[in-house]
Structure 1
Amino acid sequence: MKILVTGASGFIGGRFARFALEQGFEVRVNGRRAEGVQHLISRGADFVQGDLADAEWVQHLCEGVEVVVHCAGAVGVWGDYAHFHHGNVTLTEHVVDGCLKQKVRRLVHLSSPSIYFDGRAHVGVREDQLPRRFSDHYGRTKFLAEQRVFAAQQAGLEVLALRPRFVTGAGDTSIFPRLIEMQCKGRLAIIGNGLNKVDFTSVHNLNAALLSALKVEGAALGKPYNISNGEPVPLWDVVNYVLRRLGLPAVNQHLPFGLAYAAATVNESICRLLPGKPQPSLFRLGVAVMARDFSLDISRAREYLDYQPQASLWDALDEFCAWWQAQTADQA
């Protein structure tokens, strides 16, 4: 099977592309520069240089592949709506159109459980439990992108969407690096009582789920799937585990939720008034994420994808820490 992995220069796309090569698949990757995927090219990946913003080029990119795993997109919590719409909706539309015109059989879309988040605690969220309103541009545009993907079923494209929660392992640049930086600057504090439990996903488990999504048939198609390790853990225990493994002091300082939320509101307001609207150091959404329970019901993935998370979170954290220390040593 020949597959295309978009966003392979990023953490999740890159890890899956490497995994797919190890499984014996022919893998094509894209990017603006070969440097970002050189480790995949050296392992045998076919690299096609270009920009997903170019709709005609995307059709060329999709030529001759059987399945597309779409991992590219805009991430984060700061920026205007146009930025997130372009990165998550417009680029996905180009990929969908490329799949249809090049007769690609299946599109596996990497989505996000940020779709569900409304600032409140949620335990065992199911795929159909959507909020009345989206809390940020990222969640809203990821949902819109999903809708574009599922609409393509009517034209004969096989589609699935995966919503993995807090993916970590070697190469993770989105979860712990920011927390590590804040702790090194003395700015990190436990928000609320510190007992909130959340889901994480080992990148190895996500790779297994994506592999299954390449192969399943019948009733498994046309659905979104929650993906996690299936065992919510106290968030701040995880943060402190990583800090200790890296030889950094644990977070002991507590900050009441109301005070942290108010400070984030002020911080955001000031940044919006400054030239260039710089990213604030504290977000309201981030405060809520770090203080609330949030876990997913993964029973649908267990039933239809035969998803059985095998890799432990703690092994994934150890893998991240070893990678982070190696990166830090190289930069020293």
Structure 2
Amino acid sequence: MRILVTGGSGVVGEATVRALVKRGHTVRLLTRHADEAAREWPDGVEPRAGDVTRPDTLHGAADGCDAVLHVVGIVDESPPDSTFDKVNVEGTRHVVQETARAGVPHLVYVSSLGAETGESPYHRSKKAGEEIVRRFGGRWVIVRPGNVYGPGDDVISLLLKMVRTLPAVPVIAGGDQEFQPVWADDVGEALAAAVERADLAGKALDVAGPERTCVNDLLDRFGRLTGREPTRIPVPGMLAGLGARVAGVLGVEFPVNDSQLTMLREGNVIEPPKRNALLDVLGVRPTALDDGLRRLLDALPEQLPEQGVGPLHRKRFWADIRDATVDANALFARFCQDFDEISPDQMHVGAEPGTPTAVRERGQTVTMSLPMRGNVQVRVAELGPTLLTLQTVEGHPLAGAVRFTLGPPPTPVDTGVLRFQVELYDRAANVVDWLAMATVGNRMQDATWRETIERIVRESGGTAEAGVQTDEATLDGPDAEGVEAWLRELALSEKQARNTP
């Protein structure tokens, strides 16, 4: 089938497109930046630029499609352009109108668990969307997922980053409001099944994970998985909005704002006699919460330089090694295999239980602890016989990459000389991290890479008469744009690998 999917760039949308492509369908992906979003899938996805709040951009989008899957929705407003009424209500009306105009027989609408009875502005907007869908003349199905978590979601992924990196975590309104989170890939499979099945027409299906939890329980679970137990600071619910605004000014995220708290209180669990349609109706075996959280540990997205603040820096550290007793390939293989031992003591590799201490394959994440920062991750973006590039992952104080190379110097003065070089390209992740890097972080960073190079020189069995040499620069204009484009392509390549059926 050819399926029009509105909004395939969020947590739910990406999982859904991945599931549809895996099942052999062709997806017409409708987003505002469709060409860029569609590149994440090597095959099976055709881009269609459009904005659900502008019906003129939707005309023709559903032509030739067998079904429409409407995923687009917002959980927070950013007036005046992005409001619940404009996106969740009128946007849905525009998609239904285009579906009817094109004569598409089947429409699946992604609503929200709690929309049926909730009184928050968000839930009322999703209920209004449901009422519009029910008036569609063809077959319609409404799917109401609970809290969806996956790489980059704004609640559970954020809690993970906080547990990893902060000495204390704010807990809003006691942290005991129950909800029933569902793994994003399970929702993707459920929505793909709803698209395929004509027998579900006219049904509203509640979909949630197999277990109930709350913020305090999640903090306990993440503590066991990461080995970190930050102090919990209680924050009254009435102050949640203020805390979120202050954090936003600093470029820092805040877990569970007052609007989300209201949504949690209004029913993000499935109460009997209602049943969970995930397995019973849609045939998707639910992912256990601990299993989903464990997958999330290694699935957070890359933190690209354009997501950071301040100038883009480039630093280089290198040593020219003479009379090495091993060749370049063997020395670099030893560096990757003994990454934890060669890395300085202050950069503890394999900091979380069961995480790898060696660099073995592209796409792998490496977890380490940093002084005064907690646990952070990098992802292996490039790996060759004498080349390794690591990109920072969300939660790291820097947005960028570090590249290690080993080989002859650019202008060799003598045969047999090997240059081991470390190149850093980064911006601070946010204002707080910029201040930290400006005070003590840069000195610690310099010491870390100097010590790494000195250890490689010792491993080589040779000598570096000039010692560790350095240079640094601030990049702007085409130079900065070139680095940003390079790192975007590396992250895109990793996504394409994950999205290949």
Query: For the superposition of Structure 1 and Structure 2, which TM-score range results when normalised by the shorter chain?
Result: 0.7 to 0.9
- Normalization by structure 2: what TM-score? 0.53
Shift of 1:189: 3.3
1:143 maps to 127
CA contact (8 A) 1:14 1:37 kept: no
| 2:228 is the alignment partner of 1:284 | no
Once the two structures are superposed, residues 176-197 of structure 1 have per-residue CA deviations (whole angstroms, 9 ceiling, x without a partner) of: 3433455545562345665554
Give the SS at the match of 1:100.
helix
2:194 to 213, 222, 225: 213
Counterpart of 2:83 in 1: which secondary structure? helix
Cα distance per residue 1:162-181 (max 9 Å; x no partner):
11111123x33222343345
Once the two structures are superposed, residues 184-226 of structure 1 have per-residue CA deviations (whole angstroms, 9 ceiling, x without a partner) of 45562345665554211122321232122123334x3222211
1:282 to 1:157, Cα distance in 2 relative to 1, 3 A: closer
Displacement of 1:286 in angstroms is 4.0
Shift of 1:72: 1.0
* Post-superposition offset of 1:23: 0.7
The equivalent of 1:230 in structure 2 is 210
Alignment of 1:33-182 (within 5 A): 33=33, 34-40=35-41, 42-76=42-76, 83-115=83-115, 130-131=117-118, 134-135=119-120, 137-152=121-136, 156-169=137-150, 171-180=151-160
Higher RCO (CA 8 Å, separation ≥ 6 residues) = 1
Q: Which amino acid aligns with 2:222?
A: V
Residue 60 of structure 2: SS of its match in structure 1? Answer: helix
Contact kept, 8 Å, 1:84 with 1:138, in 2: the verdict is: yes
Match of 2:29 in 1: 29
Residue identity opposite 2:187 in structure 1: L
How many Å separate the matches in 2 of 1:191 and 1:32?
A: 34
C-alpha distance in 1 between matches for 2:243 and 2:173: 19
> CA contact under 8 A between 1:203 and 1:316: conserved in structure 2?
no
Structure 2 residue aligned with 1:204 = 185
Deviation at 1:312, TM superposition (A): 2.0
SS at match of 1:14: helix
8 Å CA contact 2:11, 2:153 repeated in 1: yes
1:58 positional shift: 1.3
* 1:221-272 Cα shifts (integer Å, max 9, x gaps): 222211012321344222343355456x3244252xxx6024337668x98x
Q: Give the distance between the partners of 1:30 and 1:177, measured in 2 at CA.
A: 26
Instruction: Choose the corresponding residue for 1:241, options 209, 213, 221.
Output: 221
Which has the greater radius of gyration? 2
1:49 deviates by 2.1
The answer to whether the Cα contact below 8 Å between 2:3 and 2:27 also exists between their aligned partners in 1 is yes
Structure 1: stretches of 5+ with no match in the other structure: 116-127
RMSD over aligned CA atoms reads 3.4
Distance in 1, matches of 2:87 and 2:289, equals: 29
Q: Distance in 2 between matches of 1:191 and 1:291?
A: 13
Output the CA distance in 1 between the equivalents of 2:297 and 2:289: 12
Residues 290/143 of structure 1: CA separation in 2 closer, same or farther (3 Å cut): closer
Residue 60 of structure 1 aligns to a residue whose secondary structure is: coil
1:63 maps to a residue whose letter is D
Distance across 2 between alignment mates of 1:17 and 1:223: 22
| Equivalent position SS for 1:236 | helix
* Structure ranking higher in strand proportion: 2
Equivalent residue letter for 1:175: V
Structure 2 gaps of 5+ residues are 304-376, 379-390, 393-399, 401-501
Quickly say closer, same or farther: Cα 1:292–1:159, change in 2 above 3 A. closer
Partner of 1:299: 275
Structure 2 residue aligned with 1:311: 287
**1:112/1:142 contact within 8 Å kept:** yes
- Match of 1:161, SS? strand
Q: Mark the CA change 1:222 to 1:172 in structure 2 (over 3 Å): closer, same or farther.
A: farther
Q: Label 1:251 to 1:162 Cα distance change in 2 as closer, same or farther (>3 A).
A: farther
Go from structure 1 to structure 2 and tell me whether the alpha carbon gap of 1:58 and 1:313 turns closer, same or farther (over 3 Å shift).
same
Percent of pairs identical after alignment?
A: 22
User: 2 CA distance for matches of 1:172 and 1:305?
Assistant: 28
Is this contact kept in 1: 2:106–2:138, CA < 8 A? Answer: yes
Q: How far does the alpha carbon of each residue in 1:54-99 deviate from its partner, in whole angstroms, 9 at most, with x for none?
A: 3133131111001111111222266579712111111111110010
> How far apart in 1 are the matches of 2:208 and 2:49?
32
CA distance in 2, matches of 1:67, 1:208: 16
Letter in 2 for 1:164: P
Aligned 8 A contact 2:157 2:296 in 1: no
Q: Distance in 2 between matches of 1:243 and 1:86?
A: 40
- Hey, which bits of structure 1, 4+ residues long, moved more than 6 A? 279-282, 289-293
Task: State the partner residue of 1:123.
Answer: none
Within the candidate set 263, 281, 294, 2:239 is matched to 263
Residues 112 and 165 of structure 1 are in contact (CA less than 8 Å); yes or no, is this contact kept in structure 2? yes
| 1:323 Cα deviation after fit | 1.2
**Which AA in structure 1 matches 2:126?**
K
Higher helix share: 1
Q: What corresponds to 2:327 in structure 1?
A: none
Find out whether 1:320 has 2:301 as its counterpart: no
CA contact (8 A) 2:8 2:17 kept: yes
Matched, 1:250 2:229: yes
Distance 1:325 1:54, change over 3 A: closer
Inter-CA distance 74–310: structure 2 relative to 1 (3 Å threshold): closer
